[in-house]
Structure 1
Amino acid sequence: MPLTTDGMSDDDVPQDRSTRRNAATALTMHDIARLAKVSTPTVSRVLNGSPLVAAKTRDRVLEVAGAHGYAVNRNAQKLRHRRTNTIAVMLDFGSHRHGAIGDPFIFELLAGVSEALSIRNQDLLLSPPGLESARDFRDFFRARGADGFIVLGQGTRDAMLRKLARENLPLVLWGAVAADAPYCAVGSDNRSGGTLAGNHFLAHGRKRWLFIGDIRHEELRLRYEGLQHAAIGRDDVTIELLPIASMAFTATAEAVAAYLEKSGAAHPDAVFAFSDTAAMAAIGSFRAIGLLAPRDFSLVGYNNIPPAAHFHPAITTIDQKTDLAGALLVEKLMQKIDGGRPLSVMLPTGIVLRET
């Protein structure tokens, strides 16, 4: 053992934190392998999360690495591999006023995706700027900005997404599931959701229905079609469409208030809103002119976000299985990145009956 001039061993010489930190940083995988009494490839497999290493060996390597302050340089690691281990998650900012998304439903989806990516040791890149066209997406992917894309909401971008899918860009999306779409989608049965809302109105004897939503969005178009389907053969039922330019709460409230002002005395007695947030906005606009749910009109929202149950009055809504969505989206994208051809999944919907 090397000795200092005063007879002390190197291990006995006091070191400050900076010196110890520098020493730990200088350690290599070869050093960790020597200390853990395993091969360097084994250390590499452990640090990359390979399932091929026995649990006992993995724990010993991680214990040694942790004790010596060894940290994986993830940027350098990415450069050594074909993949970036980064997934870009794209939000539909264009459907909200000033690009500000305030609907809790989107963040529930995002939380599920984030958790599923974390389990797979993937980084999440949230809506990188400048991706407005198919070319932007292609350039970003070819520059290795991300291994693939998860798109939360088709919005009015369906044509662009179809083009990207035909070019085999790795992407999956949350939205409407269409049989003719070239991309893999995970979404609820929007058409069935609309029919459930219409049946609810019929059960309560409502005859003047209002649908609130922009049917240029594929999901909302299917919900509107489902509502129309429920009224087939009912000549006494009328359905009006109120398109909303922005999905933001304030924009929806203003649009409903303007509609009510123009409609005069012939107010709708049933309202199907594109989301629970929109349903809350509509209730406020109706209340401002003295109309209350469920006394004066029935109302159905969509998404079953937690606040819907605690709003006054509690909102009847269409439930989507968002607890499954995040894991499914990530699983489907990983299949696509690995060269597979994942199939779309349509999740079931159900109506949650509350006060409205």
Structure 2
Amino acid sequence: MPINMGDIARLANVSKPTVSRVLNNSPLVNEETRERVLRVARENGYAINRNAQKLRQVRNDTVAVVLDFGSHRAGRIADPFIFELLAGVSESLSIRNQDLLLSPPSLTDVQSHLDLISSRVADGFIFLGQGEREPMLRDLARAGTPFVVWGGVDPKAPYCSVGSDNRLGGQLAGELFVQRGAKRWLFVGNIRHSEIRMRFDGLRAVAARHADVSVDHLDVEHMAYAPTYQQMGTWLRDNPPPDAVFAFSDTAAIAIVSAFRELGLEAPNDYSLCGYNNIPPAADFTPALTTIEQETHLAGAILVEKLMQILDGGKPKSSMLPTRLIVRQT
């Protein structure tokens, strides 16, 4: 017969509630008793049924992480930046003994998210990227769903978000282009994403102060290397090459370098280039990418902390992380 909690209590010479407290990491049990109970449990092959344990709790200690699958071609996400964020969130959740549930791409509307909460599959959500889900996120907030978002920080948004100062990032790129004497700027990115739109707005704000500067926009629907490379190549065949390019990500910036090389153009001699995120390959790429740094090593811990505050009944404010320009070869 499988050993149960009552058997553990008898063998360890303690009460059944004491065994329960030990298995739930209660601080009410002294260390000697805890070690004895755990030793007996291990020796007799007792395994905790964590699913049954969660059903007895008010919360099930599981957080669903939702990626922006819709912004990537065929739902394939390959940008290292997303996985850096995911790693930070995963580490912070593990420190708090929280399980991570990676939500499926089919989780796209308000009701599907509410169903996940009501069925007690997850306690709350961490969205890594707003993408084009802004209306859905607002509806989810109005429904009282516990969640936090990595993305553009908007003081008017009805939910808590964490992100870099995207508008400042655009301004820093613009000021760099002014210093380098560039006149024909190109912004590459999908401005239906709020954080990318903020970067575009910051770039245009700098350009507006210089009458001889023009800003074009190349809308890239899918946030991946291949579609960016293809659309940049098409744009260059139909338009005069710009002398400065601000890309929505470092991955996009690497694709842009490849597209320019098809025409025999190299940064920084023929054009200036600035990416975004400062992913690890940015410094080792040839030429090394100038970029806007987001402190992703802080982001995971902050996102998890704010979600825990919400689950405990708090109302945390949105946070803006430090944002700085990293000047390299491009």
TM-score normalized by structure 1? 0.88
Kindly state the Cα deviation for residue 52 of structure 1 after the two structures are TM-superposed: 4.6
* Secondary structure of 2:186's aligned partner: strand
User: Which range moves more in the overlay, 203-212 or 118-127?
Assistant: 118-127
1:336 aligned onto 2:310: yes
* Secondary structure of 1:350's aligned partner: strand
Seq. identity, %: 61
Kindly state the Cα deviation for residue 51 of structure 1 after the two structures are TM-superposed: 4.3
1:190 aligned onto 2:163: no
Query: How far, CA to CA, are the matches of 2:85 and 2:286 in structure 1?
Result: 25
Kindly state the Cα deviation for residue 199 of structure 1 after the two structures are TM-superposed: 1.3
Extract unaligned runs of 5+ from structure 2.
none
Counterpart contact for 2:141–2:159, Cα < 8 Å: yes
Corresponding letter in the other structure for 1:297: Y
1:125 aligned onto 2:101: yes
The 1:272–1:51 alpha-carbon spacing in structure 2 relative to 1, beyond 3 Å, is farther
Corresponding letter in the other structure for 1:304: N
Moved over 6 A (4+): none
Corresponding letter in the other structure for 1:300: C
Query: How far, CA to CA, are the matches of 2:90 and 2:207 in structure 1?
Result: 40
Kindly state the Cα deviation for residue 201 of structure 1 after the two structures are TM-superposed: 1.1
Counterpart contact for 2:75–2:105, Cα < 8 Å: no
1:351 aligned onto 2:329: no
Corresponding letter in the other structure for 2:158: P
Query: How far, CA to CA, are the matches of 1:57 and 1:240 in structure 2?
Result: 70
CA RMSD in angstroms, aligned pairs only:
1.6
TM-score normalized by structure 2? 0.95
Corresponding letter in the other structure for 2:127: V
User: Which range moves more in the overlay, 143-152 or 90-99?
Assistant: 143-152
Kindly state the Cα deviation for residue 257 of structure 1 after the two structures are TM-superposed: 0.3
In the TM superposition, what are the counterparts of 1:272-311 in structure 2 within 5 Å?
272-311=246-285
Query: How far, CA to CA, are the matches of 1:260 and 1:63 in structure 2?
Result: 69
**Cα displacement string for residues 268-307 of structure 1 (whole angstroms, at most 9, x for unaligned residues):** 1111100000000000000110100111111111111101
- Of 286, 289, 296, the residue aligned with 1:315 is 289
Query: How far, CA to CA, are the matches of 2:322 and 2:232 in structure 1?
Result: 30
What is the number of equivalent residue pairs in this alignment?
330
Counterpart contact for 2:69–2:105, Cα < 8 Å: no
Counterpart contact for 1:276–1:305, Cα < 8 Å: yes
In the TM superposition, what are the counterparts of 1:46-125 in structure 2 within 5 Å?
46-125=22-101
1:206 aligned onto 2:158: no
Corresponding letter in the other structure for 2:39: E
* Secondary structure of 1:277's aligned partner: helix
User: Which range moves more in the overlay, 227-236 or 181-190?
Assistant: 227-236
User: Which range moves more in the overlay, 100-109 or 139-148?
Assistant: 139-148
* Secondary structure of 2:257's aligned partner: helix
